[in-house]
Amino acid sequence: MLSTPLIHSSGYIDNREASQCIEMASIPEIQIPLSVLGSTANASTHSTSIPQLGYGTASWPFGESEETMKGSILTAIKLGYRHFDAASVYQSEQCLGEAISRALELGLIESRGELFVTSKLWCSDVHPHRVLPALQDTLQKLGLEYLDLYLIHFPVSKKPAGSYVVPINQSDLLPMDFKSVWEAMEECHKLGLTKNIGVSNFSVKTLQQLLLTAKIPPAVIQVSVCLRWVYEQGVSVLVKSFNEERMRENLDIFSWKLSSEESQKIDQIPQQKAYRGLEFVSDGGPFKSVEELWDGEI
């Protein structure tokens, strides 16, 4: 999945636009293709479809531009976006929840079930006893009864804290208890609080470590990659912009295809991490170097 931060201001839909919005209820400008999630769906009685293009809500500095974010999410719903990616550390869950509530009021969507909502467990909550309370807090902020997907944000724990502060103090970094933390994620799934569970920013080695004891394999592994090419690989992609024109441009990937020559050229581009995660590297922490954090996959 891809998150491309392109920040621009956008207005919030007000009551004067309500009648126009209601006329557009459940008729998005573009229908985004769906794909079926794998492993978690196989562990339950019902499969889950994920839109192949989603809308990211990370905006730096985290927690600012709340009204602009609400307006951009409403615009995204109007244009046809149905997958929204949040995280506790982004401080975007409250905004997303309020925007979803407003979209329902305006008739932009008929029910919450039309949306695919993702959020992520931050490092300070990557402890077995904190996973369930963290998810419950996320749901309370979103005003939802369940998530469609809950991810472990990074394969790192830090000392528990009352707030989500970045950058991380490197002296607070702790090794992750993969077995117990994933068991807590599996319990959240069993309780029906999230339809699917997965991971983000895991290397092959850390993923293999998790899989050694996992009863429910991750349904999603979220990483950073490139737009139309990724879509053609059958991968769900996340984009982010507060600018309506750019939001439309991102939806335009479904109306054309890369040539075989273009795809081959992109295949040959050396891959590297857009985000290196330097704050997770410390002489006293679980990862002593960037190479160790990503197992050389940088």
Catalytic positions: 90
Report in angstroms the alpha-carbon separations of 59 from 7, 8, 79, 92, 164.
7, 10, 20, 8, 15
Report in angstroms the alpha-carbon separations of 206 from 179, 214, 225, 285.
12, 12, 19, 15
- Which are the contacts of 256, defined by CB distance < 8 A and separation ≥ 6? 228
Task: Report helix, strand or coil for 245.
Answer: helix
Q: Nearest 5°: phi and psi at 63?
A: 90, -5
CA 126 to the chain's CA centroid: 17
For residue 148, give the amino acid letter. Answer: D
Q: Nearest 5°: phi and psi at 136?
A: -60, -40
